[in-house]
Structure 1
């Protein structure tokens, strides 16, 4: 798993995604085990990052179960146990997914 996560992060980094964050949600009851969040420079950059992920990961057997790419401001790629979120900077600040997931994990681990 670590190799898969590192590979995805390296792909994003190699195409100039910024502020790449990995959140481990194993054993929290969340819909996926890991979330990778990255910031793009603009909506066109978001689409380019998603296309690059698809072109590099699909030949390696990675399955894209679902993608939400209606807006370049926030793109989601569901790889099953890994969810990749690509935001433009303003949308990343607006939705603050890191804080939400951090609070979710903290609340779920204190309940268990």
Structure 2
């Protein structure tokens, strides 16, 4: 599921993608992926494609929050949480720092 999500984000030209290993930090998920889209439209397109790709690969129906506004879309696919932000919203919430992903070895690509 993680590989499907990362490939989908790359295909959609998501920017500044960071992957955070949550194992041992929380029971919410095993992996958190944080990425950015350039605009509301780009965030929405990334989210729509990711939801479709996960479903097409047999990972069921992910829970989605924030899709109408497209400032910050959260896709909860069970073992993987994906946050898709507009850059200024991402900077405001700074989830990377909160979850400790500011170390270079935690970067996905």
Indicate the TM-score class for this superposition, using the shorter chain for normalisation. Answer: 0.7 to 0.9
Please tell me whether the aligned partners of residues 46 and 75 of structure 1 are also in contact (alpha carbons under 8 angstroms): yes
| Aligned residue among 86, 89, 96 for 1:88 | 86
| Aligned residue among 19, 28, 31 for 1:31 | 28
Residue 29 of structure 1, CA deviation: 2.4
Using structure 2 for the length normalisation, give the TM-score.
0.84
| Aligned residue among 6, 11, 27 for 1:9 | 6
Distance 1:93 1:83, change over 3 A: same
Query: Helix, strand or coil for the counterpart of 1:102?
Result: coil
Q: Deviations over 1:51-106 (max 9, x none)?
A: 11122210211123410024211000000110000000000101000001118xxx
Structure 1 runs, 4 residues or longer, greater than 3 Å off: none
User: Which residues of structure 2 form unaligned runs of 5+?
Assistant: 102-109
User: Which residues of structure 1 form unaligned runs of 5+?
Assistant: 104-112
Q: Larger % of helix: which? A: 1
* Alignment correspondent of 1:75: 73
1:59 aligns with 2:40: no
Query: Helix, strand or coil for the counterpart of 1:26?
Result: coil
Using structure 1 for the length normalisation, give the TM-score.
0.82
Between structure 1 and structure 2, the one with the greater Rg is 1
